[in-house]
Structure 1
Amino acid sequence: MSSVKVINVWQCTPDTEETFEQELKRLVDTSVTEDGCISYEIYQPKDQPNEYVMIEEWQTEDALDLHQNSAHYKHFVRIAPVLQNKPAEIKQLVRLV
């Protein structure tokens, strides 16, 4: 069974960048300690200071499901819409090659 990758693109409102970054970092700090987490990283485009790209990799679909049912994930999903310009773009990827 191959690992599961998820790419999230978030865009917060310009006045909430600091709070959004703090919440993202809190999510990552806890998520990387979960069983089945291979990696959980955040990137930012150089020219878009209010956009964030999160790349997650999980050992199995079950590990991802457990993560998405965790308290820290649910907290982030609950507060993120208040800080965003638009809904996140979330893509779960299947490796072809």
Structure 2
Amino acid sequence: MREDVWERGRIKAEAQNFARVLTQCPSNLMTPTHFVECVIDKLCPCGVQVEARDRKWMQEQNMEAFLSMATGSTEAPLMLEVAYCGGNPDSKPVILTGKGVTFDG
């Protein structure tokens, strides 16, 4: 097997395992703060830009549904904006969205 194929598979498996940890960790351990720290630690060294948005930003954006859900937690709400600009600048962007909570109460 070619080494580059093996390495690509290893990277994909590592990414899947990281996603699994983020989604399956109990919410009392995977708080918004811990989630943000994990993502920043993993993605920033790869050239991915990660910006954490706080309650004040969410209020300015009138994100009332998100803020209402956050009242059920002792932890402050945080939202991540993640951007990777490593593709072809002439290509259309790929935009992914995800649910913005670390618990389902």
TM-score by length of 2: 0.32
Larger radius of gyration: 2
Higher RCO (Cα < 8 Å, 6 or more apart):
1
Larger helix percent: 2
